[in-house]
Amino acid sequence: MNSINDRSINIGEYIPAPDDDMLICRCEEITKGEIRRAVHDGMFTLTEIRRYLRTGMGLCQGQTCSKLVKSIVARELQVSPDKLEPATSRAPMRPIEMCILANERKEEA
C-alpha cells in the first residue's frame, strides 16, 4: 500500500517557514504556507489540495503551478513527487466564452 493512503501516518508538525507567504498559484493567489498547512490538515493528494485550496482552479488551470504544488506537497509528505498523481485534465483546454460554447456548428443533414 502506498504510504500516503493511510491518512493517519505521522508527517510531523507543521513548522512555519520564512517563505510561507510566497505565492505559488498566481491565478488563485494561494501561498506556499497555505499549501503546506493543507497537507498537515490531511490533504495528501494534489486533487484534494486543489479542491481544498483552489490551486490550479483558475484561468490557467494549473499550467504554471501544478509542478510547483506537487513538489511542495511531496516534500511535506517526505515522498518522491512521482508518487503524487496530477489532478485530472478537464475540458475546455483553454477558457471559452459561454456564448461561443453555446454556438455549436450545425451538422449538415
- H or E element, residue 101: helix 98-101
Q: Which three cell numbers stand for residue 49?
A: 489540495
Tell the smallest beta-carbon distance from residue 84 to another protein (Å). Answer: 8
Give the separation between CA 107 and CA 109, rounded to whole angstroms: 6
Q: What does the buried/exposed string (b/e) look like for 69-86 if buried means 16 or more CB atoms within 10 Å of the residue's CB?
A: bbebbbebbebeeeebeb
The verdict on 37 binding another protein (CB under 8 A) reads: no
> 14, 20, 57, 79: which one contacts another protein (CB under 8 A)?
57
Residues 89-108 that bind another protein (CB under 8 A): 89-105, 107
| Footprint of another protein (CB under 8 A) | 1-2, 4-8, 19, 22-24, 26, 28, 32, 41-43, 45, 47-48, 51-52, 54, 57-59, 61, 63-65, 67-68, 81-82, 85-86, 88-105, 107
